[in-house]
């Protein structure tokens, strides 16, 4: 059953900031009804949030947060994780009606959110042991070591496809490192991110350590990216917005990390067990309603068994339950918004007009009259110059091409502006390893597609961005390394000649 959307304000300096007159409607994409609203921050609100984060960073000489022990910060992160676990079922429902993702998926995401906070709590603690790590230098007269310090106030801008999880991938390591933060989630799905504010209040996180401002990209995201008091921007979203963030950051020589779009290949060879490979193909593209940056949405099939494989693939896809995300067994909900829905339809009609064949799906499911639903769609007879093959669709659309040899498959896989992920399914592990090395991407899956663990690095190459999230790499994103070198000899340094004393 749907639950009411809590009425929230902006979360600034540990408080819900009243009043905020301007609000953005929250639309349930499964039935197109307005189910609540969220505040729309302005540039002034962004400034207040940044100032609060700055005060929190420096309060008590930084001893309250930035220079507190990692163990102190870890305690807060664990409390946040535990509060989220207590509210998992409610938050999962809120996220399902806000984003359109099937409830089984949002429940899984919420569990990942809590695990991610717990993981970075461990890393915060380990930071205490790693401080003053010695650096070996060739001169005995010197002793060197490094101190890892939080970068400062960070601006975190996130998308809607995994609303709270994408935010957590940034918030958890940033806070663990001792940064203070301003989070700007997507205006299309901010509800659970605002609930994180309530969680912060409940665990008595020091005011200003995490501020959450919702609103439009142009009105809230852009002023955050260009604020001179923000020391770093970590962004996840489209390549187009990433470019704008990069331009804004360049004016201030501000460091950034960018997790952008993708159009990832999945290579399937004819030695596989077809049923298993078909299921991973579907999971790789239709999970999260197809709205996954790393979706393996370009299927490359070995020609010798393509016909047989596609028959089974179409049969499996027709068996996917497309429904309201709260319905039991739902495996594909609506795309997030009317804008996305129209974009999907345009992609599919352009593919048709360019001569591609719609093997399955391609329209609204007949049993669903309302909502932004698109059938899981498979498109074949695609050429490498077609828009559907080259551009990120970010919806439930898979396109297929065939290849004859391993070399041809790698060449087709790499013929893309993107380089986020890639996958290969084959019984020949040596071949899989060769392909892992051959594909230009930041993430490779062998005999599967999409599994993601908070311990392993995440991020892309080419126009999919730079920098890595998750694991120790994601932690380093928010740390600055300071070199300390001490002269330890009793002798005069002796570079200049000593003037004789009078």
Binding site for ligand NAD (CB under 6 A): 157-161, 166, 184-187, 217-218, 221-222, 225, 236-238, 241, 244-245, 259-262, 293, 392, 394, 420, 460, 465
Question: For residue 65, what are the contacts with CB-CB under 8 A and spacing of at least 6?
Answer: 56, 57, 59, 73, 178, 180, 206, 209
Say how many Å lie between the first and final Cα of the chain, rounded: 92
**Pick 247 or 304: Cβ nearer ligand NAD:** 247
Angle at 321 between CA 92 and CA 310, to 5 degrees: 125
The C-alpha atoms of residue 357 and residue 35 are separated, in whole angstroms, by 38
Question: For residue 236, what are the contacts with CB-CB under 8 A and spacing of at least 6?
Answer: 157, 158, 159, 166, 169, 170, 258, 259, 260, 293, 469
- Provide the minimum distance between the beta carbon of 140 and ligand NAD in the complex, in angstroms, as a whole number: 46
- Provide the minimum distance between the beta carbon of 207 and ligand NAD in the complex, in angstroms, as a whole number: 24
**Pick 74 or 213: Cβ nearer ligand NAD:** 213
Active-site residue 293, yes or no? yes
- Provide the minimum distance between the beta carbon of 288 and ligand NAD in the complex, in angstroms, as a whole number: 9
Neighbours of 118 (CB within 10 A): 19
**Pick 238 or 350: Cβ nearer ligand NAD:** 238
- Provide the minimum distance between the beta carbon of 354 and ligand NAD in the complex, in angstroms, as a whole number: 22
185, 212 contact by CB (below 8 A):
yes
Active-site residue 259, yes or no? yes
The catalytic position among 51, 259, 375, 406 is: 259
**Pick 29 or 221: Cβ nearer ligand NAD:** 221
Angle at 69 between CA 64 and CA 72, to 5 degrees: 70
**Pick 78 or 244: Cβ nearer ligand NAD:** 244
203, 126 contact by CB (below 8 A):
no
The catalytic position among 116, 293, 330, 454 is: 293
In 306-425, the DSSP E strands lie at: 357-360, 377-380, 397-403, 418-419, 421-425
The C-alpha atoms of residue 41 and residue 309 are separated, in whole angstroms, by 50
- Provide the minimum distance between the beta carbon of 344 and ligand NAD in the complex, in angstroms, as a whole number: 13
Cα dihedral 238, 244, 248, 253 sign? positive
The C-alpha atoms of residue 341 and residue 364 are separated, in whole angstroms, by 10
Q: Which of 292, 375, 381, 367 is nearest to 332 (CA)?
A: 375
- Provide the minimum distance between the beta carbon of 217 and ligand NAD in the complex, in angstroms, as a whole number: 2
Tokens representing residue 306 in the block: 């393509």
**Pick 94 or 127: Cβ nearer ligand NAD:** 94
Catalytic residues: 259, 293
């Amino acid at each position: 059953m749907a639950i009411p959307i809590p009425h929230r304000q902006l979360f600034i300096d540990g408080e819900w900031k009243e009043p905020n007159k301007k609000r953005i409607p929250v639309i349930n994409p499964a039935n197109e009804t307005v189910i609540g609203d969220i505040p729309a921050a302005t540039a002034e609100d962004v400034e207040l949030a940044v100032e609060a984060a700055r005060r929190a960073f420096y309060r008590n000489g930084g001893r309250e947060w930035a220079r507190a022990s990692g163990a102190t910060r870890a305690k807060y992160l664990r409390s946040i994780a535990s509060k989220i676990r207590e509210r998992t079922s409610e938050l999962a429902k809120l996220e399902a009606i806000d984003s359109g993702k099937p409830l089984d998926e949002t429940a899984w995401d919420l569990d990942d959110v809590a695990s991610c906070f717990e993981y970075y709590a461990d890393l915060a603690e380990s930071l205490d042991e790693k401080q003053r790590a010695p650096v070996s230098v060739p001169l005995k007269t010197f002793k060197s070591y490094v101190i890892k310090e939080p970068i400062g106030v960070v601006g975190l801008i996130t998308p809607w496809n995994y609303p709270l999880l994408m935010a957590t991938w940034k918030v958890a390591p940033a806070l663990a490192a001792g940064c203070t933060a301003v989070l700007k989630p997507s205006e299309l799905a901010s509800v659970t991110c605002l609930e994180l504010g309530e969680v912060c209040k409940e665990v008595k996180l020091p005011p200003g350590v995490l501020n959450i401002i919702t609103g439009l990209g142009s009105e809230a995201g852009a002023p955050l990216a260009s604020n001179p008091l923000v020391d770093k921007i970590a962004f996840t979203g489209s390549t187009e917005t990433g470019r704008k963030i990069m331009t804004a950051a360049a004016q201030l020589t501000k460091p950034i990390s960018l997790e952008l779009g993708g159009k990832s290949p999945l290579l399937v060879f004819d030695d596989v067990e077809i049923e298993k490979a078909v299921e991973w193909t579907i999971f790789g593209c239709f999970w999260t309603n197809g709205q996954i940056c790393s979706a393996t949405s370009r299927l490359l099939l070995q020609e010798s068994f393509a016909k047989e494989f596609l028959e089974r693939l179409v049969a499996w896809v027709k068996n996917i339950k497309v429904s309201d995300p709260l319905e039991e067994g739902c495996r594909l909900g609506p795309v997030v918004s009317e804008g996305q829905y129209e974009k999907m339809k345009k992609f599919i009609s352009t593919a048709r007009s360019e001569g591609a064949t719609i093997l399955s799906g391609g329209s609204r499911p007949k049993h669903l009259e309302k909502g932004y639903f698109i059938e899981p769609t498979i498109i074949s007879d695609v050429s490498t110059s077609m828009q559907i093959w080259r551009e990120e669709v970010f919806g439930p659309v898979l396109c297929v091409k065939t290849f004859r040899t391993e070399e041809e498959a790698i060449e087709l896989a790499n013929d893309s502006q993107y380089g986020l992920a890639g996958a290969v399914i084959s019984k020949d592990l040596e071949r899989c390893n060769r392909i892992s090395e051959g594909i230009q991407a930041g993430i490779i899956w062998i005999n599967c597609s999409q599994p993601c663990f908070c311990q392993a690095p995440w991020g892309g190459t080419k126009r999919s961005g730079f920098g890595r999230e998750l694991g120790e790499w994601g932690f380093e994103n928010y740390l600055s390394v300071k070199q300390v070198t001490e002269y330890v000899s009793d002798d005069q340094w002796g570079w200049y000649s000593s003037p004789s004393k009078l």
